[in-house]
Structures are given as structure tokens and as C-alpha cells.
């Protein structure tokens, strides 16, 4: 592309918005022309995101009263709480594309969406959205106008399970034990994310009721023949960043570790951001990066697959930029090749 992509970030003061800015400021084809945060309107971005000090002169503005005013914008990233993009995206100019990082457009069935999000469904608008799990939905994303960016738990779980579902080898129940850092709860302090409580604690939450369950099941049905019993449990880790998903399943045939490795490496051939781990992934090695590290092991018909990623990058902002790249005909990895820290 000769011209830069003109970008608006709505909801730029939260953790998701912060990561979008951190990535997009160094993207060679991106130009951020608008970043909103109503409670911080008028403040320089660097007053809120100190990590960007000296790197940008952007100033937070209030969200426009009418989204149709964004006629010069090529794409809008919605990093807003659940429920807000539902009303705003229909107002966008016809030519403006959108990537929504909330759950507003992830679920196709209105009754299921109402059950898990307590909101009214998008109706006909929903059919215009493509689910943005890049590695499994790449071709549809390339021609999409609107993207529903996956949830962080859903991204890790789906990347761990998709090759097995596609293979048709699964038999019986799938159990996923997934854990997340506190940043997944957002930038505003709450009793379950306040550091003195979280730092030395470990607990489960939303048993059988997590909003990512229908999202995961829905997408697995599009990947392959999926009608297995599915148990998904989430836990709170005493760390700030990271998702670690342990996925247990049975197969119809006895498999060796070599069989598993070949299956996964074939499925993710050409997917730069999927890395293979021989033993176990570690959230330290994916932190602040767009990588998802995967390992798999088998004992006869019993299989366990581990997946680790950064919930704010591959689980949110990084995957959103990965999808933007595809939508605008760019190399998928553009602006996203950076390593995590060590340690």
C-alpha cells in the first residue's frame, strides 16, 4: 500500500486500547488519526499510558456523537465495554470498516447471546460480521468489512482444539481448564482484580457460565464435525498478563506424540504466530507478543494440548491488527514481529 491506513481507536484508555496504540504507533502502514476516551478527553495519551511517553503527541477526544462523521477513516477499532459497539457500528459511513474487540458480534444465535451477555442481538447486522480467529478464518477475513475479534480465552482454546476437531479423531468429552491474568478484567480496579487480593490468590469463576463457551462451540462447529460434550472452566492467576489453557480429550485411535506433532504442524503450516513447544508453553515467553505457543502429548487415546498466549496481544489487540493487515491486503505479520521479554 502506498497510502497509510487511517485509523480511529474508540476506547483508547483501557488495556486493550493501550495495546492497540502501542502496536499501531510502530506499524509502517498505519496512521492513528483519532483516539477517544470520554473520561480522559483533552488529556495527552501519554498522561494515561506512561509507557508511550516521548512516542506520540496524540490527545484523547470525546467519542463523536454521530459515527457518520468518521468519513475519512478507513477502519475503526472498537475497544469498548460490551454493548456499546452494538449501537455505534450501524452509524459508521458505508466505506468504513470495523474491528470490534468486545463480545457484541461474536454470537450468531440471538437467544444464546441474550443468555450470556444480557443484551439484545444485532439482528441483520450480525450477518455482516466475520469471526476473527486469524489462523482458522484467514480467507473470510481478507474480504470482510466487519470483524468480531475473538475473546482471549476463546483464542487460546480454539487454537489448541481446532486441529483435533478438523482431524475428525475426537471421541467423547473435551475438558478445558483455562487460567488468566488480572488484566483480562480491565483497567478499572475491582474486588477480584485488586492486587492485594489477587497477588496471593487462586480461584475459579463462572463455572459452566463463561461467555466464551458458546463462542468456542460455535466456531468449532465451523471448523469440523463437532458435537462433543464440552466442559470449560476458568481460573484466576496471580499474574497480570497471560492465558494458559490445558485441554484434555480422547481420540478414536491410539496416537503417538509424533502423530500429534505432525497433525498440528501440518494444520498450522504457514501460520507464523503459532509456535511449537516440546514440553510445555510458558506465559513468560509469549508475554507482550502476538505468539501462541502450543504443546501436545498423548498416552494411547488420551491427549492433552497446552496453549499459552498474552491475553492483551494475541488474545485482543495483536490479533485485531493481524486481522486488519489481512483486510487491507498486507502481509499478516506486518507491525507484529516482536518478541516477548526474558524473563
- Tens-binned pLDDT, residue by residue, of the chain (343 aa): 568 999 999 999 998 999 999 999 999 999 999 999 988 999 999 999 999 999 999 999 999 989 998 989 999 999 999 999 999 999 999 999 999 999 999 999 999 999 999 999 999 999 999 999 999 999 999 999 999 999 999 999 999 999 999 999 999 999 999 999 876 556 566 666 666 777 778 888 889 989 999 999 999 999 999 999 999 999 988 887 999 999 999 999 999 999 999 999 999 999 999 999 999 999 999 999 999 999 999 998 999 999 999 999 999 999 999 999 999 999 999 999 999 888 7
Q: Using CB atoms within 10 A of its CB, is residue 230 exposed (0-12), middle (13-18) or buried (19+)? A: middle
Report the C-alpha gap between 289 and 173 in whole angstroms: 32
CA angle 277, 102, 37 (to 5 degrees): 115
Three-class DSSP category at 303: strand
Residue showing cell 511449537: 276
pLDDT of residue 203: 86
Q: Please tell me what DSSP assigns to residue 71.
A: T
pLDDT of residue 311: 96
CB atoms within 10 A of CB 63: 16
Count CA atoms within 13 Å of residue 214 on its CB side: 17
pLDDT of residue 188: 61
Q: Please tell me what DSSP assigns to residue 289.
A: S
Residue 18, C-alpha cell as written in the block: 493501550
Report the C-alpha gap between 161 and 264 in whole angstroms: 10
Three-class DSSP category at 61: strand
Residue 103, C-alpha cell as written in the block: 463480545
pTM of the model: 0.95
The question of whether 292 is a catalytic residue gets the answer no
pLDDT of residue 181: 85
Helices of type H across 268-303: 283-286
Catalytic option among 34, 85, 101, 152: 152
Residue 23, C-alpha cell as written in the block: 502496536
Residue 301, C-alpha cell as written in the block: 487415546
Residue showing cell 469463576: 205
The sign of the torsion formed by the CA atoms of 104, 110, 113, 118 equals: positive
Amino acid at each position: 500500500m502506498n497510502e497509510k491506513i487511517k485509523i480511529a481507536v474508540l476506547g483508547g484508555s483501557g488495556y486493550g486500547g493501550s495495546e492497540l496504540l502501542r502496536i499501531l504507533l510502530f506499524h509502517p502502514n498505519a496512521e492513528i488519526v483519532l483516539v477517544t476516551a470520554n473520561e480522559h478527553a483533552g488529556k495527552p495519551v501519554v498522561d494515561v499510558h506512561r509507557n508511550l511517553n516521548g512516542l506520540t503527541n496524540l490527545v484523547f477526544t470525546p467519542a463523536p456523537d454521530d459515527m457518520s462523521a468518521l468519513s475519512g477513516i478507513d477502519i475503526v477499532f472498537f475497544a469498548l465495554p460490551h454493548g456499546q459497539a452494538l449501537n455505534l457500528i450501524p452509524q459508521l459511513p458505508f466505506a468504513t470498516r470495523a474491528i470490534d474487540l468486545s463480545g457484541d458480534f461474536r454470537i450468531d444465535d440471538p437467544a444464546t447471546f441474550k443468555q450470556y451477555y444480557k443484551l439484545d442481538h444485532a439482528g441483520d447486522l450480525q450477518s455482516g460480521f466475520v469471526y476473527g480467529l486469524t489462523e482458522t478464518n484467514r480467507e473470510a477475513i481478507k474480504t470482510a468489512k466487519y470483524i468480531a475479534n475473538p475473546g482471549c480465552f476463546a483464542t487460546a482454546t480454539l487454537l489448541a482444539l481446532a486441529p483435533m476437531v478438523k482431524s475428525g479423531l475426537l471421541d467423547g468429552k473435551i475438558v478445558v481448564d483455562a487460567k488468566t491474568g488480572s488484566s483480562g478484567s480491565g483497567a478499572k480496579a475491582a474486588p477480584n482484580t485488586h492486587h492485594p487480593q489477587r497477588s496471593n490468590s487462586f480461584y475459579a469463576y463462572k463455572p459452566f457460565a463463561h461467555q466464551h463457551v458458546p463462542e468456542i462451540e460455535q466456531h468449532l462447529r465451523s471448523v469440523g464435525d463437532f458435537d462433543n460434550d464440552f466442559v470449560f472452566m476458568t481460573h484466576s492467576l496471580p499474574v497480570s498478563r497471560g492465558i494458559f489453557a490445558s485441554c484434555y480429550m480422547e481420540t478414536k485411535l491410539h496416537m503417538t506424540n509424533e502423530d500429534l506433532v505432525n497433525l498440528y504442524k501440518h494444520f498450522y503450516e504457514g501460520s507464523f504466530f503459532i509456535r511449537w513447544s516440546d514440553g510445555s508453553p510458558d506465559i513468560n515467553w509469549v508475554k507482550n507478543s502476538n505468539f501462541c505457543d502450543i504443546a501436545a502429548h498423548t498416552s494411547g487415546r488420551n491427549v492433552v494440548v497446552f496453549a499459552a498466549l498474552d491475553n492483551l496481544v494475541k488474545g485482543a489487540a495483536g490479533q485485531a491488527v493481524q486481522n486488519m493487515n489481512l483486510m487491507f491486503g498486507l502481509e499478516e505479520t506486518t507491525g507484529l514481529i516482536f518478541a516477548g521479554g526474558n524473563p
